[in-house]
Amino acid sequence: MQQVIQELVSARVGEVLLDEMLAEHTTWKIGGPADVMVIPDGTRELAETIRILHRHGQSFTTIGRGSNMLVTDKGVRGVVVKLGKDMGHIRFDGGTVTAGGAVSLITLSVKAAKEGLTGLEFAGGIPGTVGGAVYMNAGAHGSDMSRILKEAEIVLETGETVRLRNEELEFRYRHSWLHGRAAIVTEAVLALEHGDRKKIAATSAANKERRILTQPLSAACAGSTFRNPDNHYAAKLIEEAGLKGYRVGGAEVSRQHANFIINTGGATANDVLHLMDHIHSTVYTTFGISLTPEVLVVGER
C-alpha cells in the first residue's frame, strides 16, 4: 500500500488522505476510517488514479456525496475514491444538459427548472450525485434516470474512459449495467424538453412541499432504506407493521417516513444494521414480503 500511496502522491492526482473518517463524508454521519482516501482534481486525474490502482491490483470503493450508503464502524480497508468539485460542471445546450458526476442531483433539478426544461422534476428530492443516480437508476414520482439519459462518460476499473449510450447501460428498477463493477460515472448527458416554466415551477414546488411534509429532511439519513417491492410501498409495509419510531441505539425508524432510518445522534453502523434486520424480519413475518435494501453497505464487518 505504501508504494501505491507514493505513486498517487507523485502523480499529483489530487488530495491523498490517510485514515480519513468516512462519517465526515456520508449523509448518515456514520462510518469508520478509510485507509486511504483519494479526491482527484478532475477526470484525467481520476483516470490516472484508477490506472495506478489497477496496476497494483488494488481494489477501491467510490463515494460521491455519501448518500444511499452505510459505511461500517470498522471503516474501509484499502482505497476510497471520492469525486471532487472539479467534476461538478453543468452545461446547457438547448434541451441537452451535460453534468459532471459530482453534481448534486437536487441542484441540477433546480437549475434545469430555471432554464425552463422539464424532465428532471422527479429528482428534486434525491440526495445524491448525478454519477450515483446513473449508477443506481435513481428515480421518484414515476420517473427515473433511464428516461432522460442519452449517454454517460465512465472510467472503467482499468482506468480506460468510455462513453456508453442509454441502451448499453441496461437500466431497470434501481439497477444498471454498472452494478457490481468498479466503474465511475464522471459525466452524464441528459435529454430534456423545453416546457412551460410555470408548470415546471408548480410541479417542483409541489414535490418539494410533499418532501417537507413527509420526509425527515433535517435529520442525518440516507434516503430510502429499502426498495419498493412489486405492487407495494416499503414505507407503507413498515408503518403497518407498527415500526414507526422503533429504535436501536441511536438509529430510529423515522416517524415522518417509515422507509427512512435516521441518526438521532451517535448512531453506529451496527445500530442501523440491526434495525434493518429487525424491519426485514418483522415485515416478512407480518406480510410474507421480503424487503431488499436500497442502501449500499460498504466496509469491513
Which residues are catalytically annotated? Answer: 174, 224, 294
Q: Encode burial over 105-136: b for 16+ CB neighbours within 10 A, e otherwise.
A: bbbbbbbbbebbbbbbbbbbbbbbbbbbbbbb
The kind and range of the H/E element at 47 are helix 43-55
The kind and range of the H/E element at 269 are helix 269-287
Question: What is the dihedral angle through the alpha carbons of 223, 229, 231, 233, rounded to the nearest 10 degrees?
Answer: -30
First-to-last alpha carbon distance for the chain, in angstroms, is: 21
Write down the residue that cell numbers 408548480 correspond to: 202
Q: What type of residue is 283?
A: V
Q: What single string gives the DSSP state of each residue in 161-186? A: EEEEEGGGG--BTTB-TTTTS--EEE
Of 18, 27, 23, which Cα lies nearest the Cα of 78?
A: 18
Please provide residue 131's backbone torsions phi and psi, each rounded to the nearest 5 degrees. -60, -45
Check: CB of residue 244 under 8 Å from CB of residue 260. no
What's the alpha-carbon Rg for the chain, to the nearest Å? Answer: 19
Q: How far apart are CA 176 and CA 200, in angstroms?
A: 28
Of 66, 209, 81, which Cα lies nearest the Cα of 128?
A: 66
